[in-house]
Chains A and B, each alone.
Chain A
Amino acid sequence: MSKSLTWRGAIALFAVLAALVYLVPSITDEVPVWWSSILPKDKIHLGLDLQGGMHLVLEVQAQKAIESHLERVVDEMKGDLRKDKIRYISLKRKGLDGVMITLMRLKDETVFRDMVAAGYPDFSVESMPEQHGKPVFQLVLDPNAKTHIMKMALEQALETIRNRVDQFGVSEPDIRPQENHRLLIQLPGIKDPKRAVALIGKTALLEFKLVDEENSVEEALKGNIPPGDEILYQVSVDPKTGHERKTPYLLKKRTALTGEYLTDARVQIDSRYNEPYVSISFDARGARLFEQVTGQNIKKRLAIVLDGKINSAPVIQDKISGGKAQITGRYTTDEARDLAIVLRAGALPAPVKIIEERTVGPSLGKDSIEKGFKSMLIGGIIVILFMMIYYGFSGVIADLALLLNILFIMAGLAFFSATLTLPGIAGIILTIGMSVDANVLIFERIREEIRLGKTPRTAIDGGYSKALVTILDAQLTTLIVALVLFQFGTGPVRGFAVTLSIGIIASLFTAIFLTRIIFDYLYVKRNMKKLSI
């Protein structure tokens, strides 16, 4: 008996020591170097609701990725048709399904089919009813290819946003994909949520388009847009009045160059006006294209379009070689810096929409921690005093179990590097109230046994063994609920489930195992005769 007691004491001591070791990194700001090389260095993370920060859920509009894929196919196919000398009347994207084409001559059909089979394996050709004697075909995009495009769009969006956030400088961001083309983004401790939203949510599609100098904007605004042209606006905000001014431009629809050839984007300061601008550099292919475009269009205007809005439309003075360009605008330094970040990280493959946003200011988080711990302290002290008064010395043992319980929960949080949230603190507080339950069950049983006239030693034995089944049943069912909660919950709710689950396991350990050691030591080894319960 005494040998098993030594063993059990050793296990208990080991558990307590291990818990303390796991807690050290969370308590001290910096652990010594020798510590982190051999001992655990995981900390308890504070949830966004406690340290302040931002929780975002974005929906990647993946069907837009299919649209732009189909548009690209249309462009590419136009070139191929020209190469194969197939003449066509119209070639258009048809929704998200595929591409519609009307050929000029019937005899081109076989050549056309061969071309599609060779160059566009994701499409199947379906003959449609003829129109005015001209053959019409629908190229249907394979559903598997569709799924693949959407999946790639999500992955690429995730990667791009991760890049942007990393460059923006957020410590410990958490970015992960969710079902239904959604991305979950958690940015702890962020100071300027508005700026972060702008940075993350921007598609950042950079395009260079030529201004149509032959036709007038006024005529186009009346509805007579020349074929192959489009109207886009330059939006400028007057810094004094805050009024928006929109200037329309008539542009060639064809994109001369896009941001995909960018290799770098940096903020620079204009020495004359002391205004920041973004200088961009292209890779070799982009530089060649840029040189070509600028060389062929001297004295014409080239519009720089960002996400469908004209940034500026400077006149090309000369052929630009070397692949460098500047994006100017009335930027603040922050805006210029963020623009450089999104350009460097690249465009999102599809626009994103913010469908959930939760921001907690740092001061509120601090308040919540203070209030949470204050209620924990006061509630805990009352429970501890109450147990002492009600059960006497045994109550003190239960109190010890309670304190160790809190220690184990904290250590458990550090061990799983789990996140402590405000509902999580509530979970700990609740555990304080509920964890005495196991001890109460045992003590009530012991009291019953003593009333039957048993000695303290047999009463303790009987009490523990009879209460054990009940405790297990009761705690296991609560654990089931906690696990369901963990499965369903996100963020704060999950934190609650974690502390509740760890609390249940910890209280099983302390109530059944730890307190028993103390009782056994006193009443078996030391052979005490009186039981204060």
Chain B
Amino acid sequence: MQFIKPGININFIGKRNIAFTLSSLMILATIVLLVWRGGPNYGVDFSGGVLVQVKMAQKTSPLEIKKALGAVNLDDSIVQEFGEAGQFEYLIRIRKTKVELSTLGDRVEQALKTAFGNKVEIRRVEMVGPKVGKDLRQKALFAIFYSILFIAIYISGRFEMKWLMSIIMAISLAFVVYIASEIGISVTWLILIALIVTLAFCFFLNLKYALGAIIAIIHDVVITLGFFALTERELSLSIIAAFLTIVGYSLNDTIIVFDRIRENLRRFRRKPFEETMNQSINETLSRTILTSGTTLIVIIALFILGGGVIHDFAFALLVGVLVGTYSSIFVASPILLIWEGKFGKKAQKKM
């Protein structure tokens, strides 16, 4: 059985302008959405606060729960239904950071038991102090940044035999990050600067494969973030883990296409770059679709059956794998082509 007929030749690269428009629109929409919402929707892990998951004995409306919480002055908390229908589970989020957080969980329990009787079950309490929240946010950003940096080094080394160059890049970048953190720039800006510097390095040191892969990765993470903002989901620690998995997955996909391109460039030296590229994408298309398919199957199973706690995690992976597959075909390779066309050897020869 096969989905993709051998010898198929779809002109993916030719459609790059459509793809770029689509990608730009999605990224722009994400930025607009994030600016409009005043930044990402941080969960208690990052913003600090208290999250309580309760199971009620009978159907209760979030409004009733809110009212009950009014008895202990917590009526400004956010209450929403959670998990499968018929389980009567609710999530209560409290964002107060000024009061003593460690007693808030008890106060919620007390208020709910007074209002609804002793059958209320507190299933989960997460309390994160504001200081810890800030620390976790920094750690998460650094994790994403470091994984991108290490990947840039690995790709440049493996694909272009530029180990030395990429190590120079890493050292200078570590230096930039060190100086910037000594000056006392906020971590968000620090990482942003570091990413831009990384891209600039890849650009000026001719590390084109790394450039394509990193842009594709940033593309995937940003768009997934956009979908999170659109569906009003919260960022938590496990979502960051999902984002890093997306980074890994998208990269996996991109590398397999790049690998083919490298192989075919050696085999067909006379062919135009664009044609070789298209051929490589087509040759790996069957694999790309198959692997994405099996991965999506298990993620969908997790998304539907995995339960409330893992739901958002599965959602992030779902969006990420779809976008990651798209980007390895329509974003990473065309960037390679554009770079080669404008700055590569062939362009130089024409001059």
B residues in contact with A489, CB < 8 Å: 143, 237, 241
Is the beta-carbon distance between B306 and A477 smaller than 8 angstroms? no
A residues in contact with B259, CB < 8 Å: 469-470, 473-474
A310: interface (CB < 8 Å): no
A154 to chain B, nearest CB (A): 17
Is the beta-carbon distance between B127 and A361 smaller than 8 angstroms? no
Is the beta-carbon distance between B305 and A374 smaller than 8 angstroms? yes
Asked whether A364 and B297 contact (CB < 8 A) given A355-B131, A390-B290, A470-B255, the answer is no
Out of A358, A367, A441, A451, name the residue touching B6 (CB < 8 Å): A451
Q: Which of A8-49 contact B (CB under 8 A)?
A: 49
Is the beta-carbon distance between A426 and B296 smaller than 8 angstroms? no
A484: interface (CB < 8 Å): yes
B87: nearest residue on chain A (CB-CB)?
Answer: A367
Count A-B pairs with CB separation below 8 Å. 221
A432: interface (CB < 8 Å): yes
B residues in contact with A487, CB < 8 Å: 143, 146
Q: Which of A354, A368, A430, A476 has the most CB of B within 10 A?
A: A430
Q: Which of A131-148 contact B (CB under 8 A)?
A: none
A429: interface (CB < 8 Å): yes
A100: interface (CB < 8 Å): no
A194: interface (CB < 8 Å): yes
B residues in contact with A496, CB < 8 Å: 238, 241, 245
Q: Which of A321-346 contact B (CB under 8 A)?
A: none
A155 to chain B, nearest CB (A): 22
Out of A49, A357, A436, A481, name the residue touching B244 (CB < 8 Å): A481
Is the beta-carbon distance between B305 and A474 smaller than 8 angstroms? no
Asked whether A497 and B241 contact (CB < 8 A) given A371-B306, A390-B290, the answer is yes
A residues in contact with B106, CB < 8 Å: 194
B residues in contact with A500, CB < 8 Å: 245, 248
Once the chains are docked, how many angstroms separate the CA of A411 from the CA of B301? 24
Q: Which of B106, B139, B251, B291 has the most CB of A within 10 A?
A: B291
B residues in contact with A423, CB < 8 Å: 238, 241, 310, 313
Is the beta-carbon distance between A488 and B299 smaller than 8 angstroms? no
Out of A379, A475, A488, A493, name the residue touching B301 (CB < 8 Å): A379
Q: Which of A367-406 contact B (CB under 8 A)?
A: 367-368, 371-372, 374-376, 378-380, 382-383, 386-387, 389-392
Q: Mark A91-109, 1 if CB is under 8 A from B, else 0.
A: 0000000000000000000
Interface SS of chain A: helix, strand, loop or mixed? helix
A residues in contact with B244, CB < 8 Å: 481, 484-485
Is the beta-carbon distance between A482 and B290 smaller than 8 angstroms? no
Q: Which of B105, B154, B287 has the most CB of A within 10 A?
A: B287
Q: Mark B107-121, 1 if CB is under 8 A from A, else 0.
A: 000000000000001
A residues in contact with B245, CB < 8 Å: 430, 481, 496, 500
Interface SS of chain B: helix, strand, loop or mixed? helix
Once the chains are docked, how many angstroms separate the CA of A359 from the CA of B255? 41
Is the beta-carbon distance between A357 and B252 smaller than 8 angstroms? no
Is the beta-carbon distance between B132 and A57 smaller than 8 angstroms? yes
B79: interface (CB < 8 Å): no
A125: interface (CB < 8 Å): no
A478: interface (CB < 8 Å): yes
Q: Which of A197, A371, A390, A433 has the most CB of B within 10 A?
A: A433
Is the beta-carbon distance between A433 and B158 smaller than 8 angstroms? no
Is the beta-carbon distance between B294 and A477 smaller than 8 angstroms? no
Q: Mark B148-166, 1 if CB is under 8 A from A, else 0.
A: 0011001100100000000
Q: Which of B106, B128, B240, B305 has the most CB of A within 10 A?
A: B305
Interface contacts beyond A358-B126, A488-B146: sample of 18 additional A-B pairs, CB < 8 Å, sorted by A: A59-B131, A356-B132, A360-B124, A361-B123, A372-B307, A375-B302, A383-B294, A423-B238, A423-B310, A437-B287, A444-B284, A470-B260, A474-B255, A477-B151, A484-B150, A485-B143, A489-B237, A493-B237
Could you give 7 example pairs across A and B, Cβ below 8 Å? A361-B122, A383-B297, A440-B291, A441-B287, A447-B2, A484-B150, A490-B237
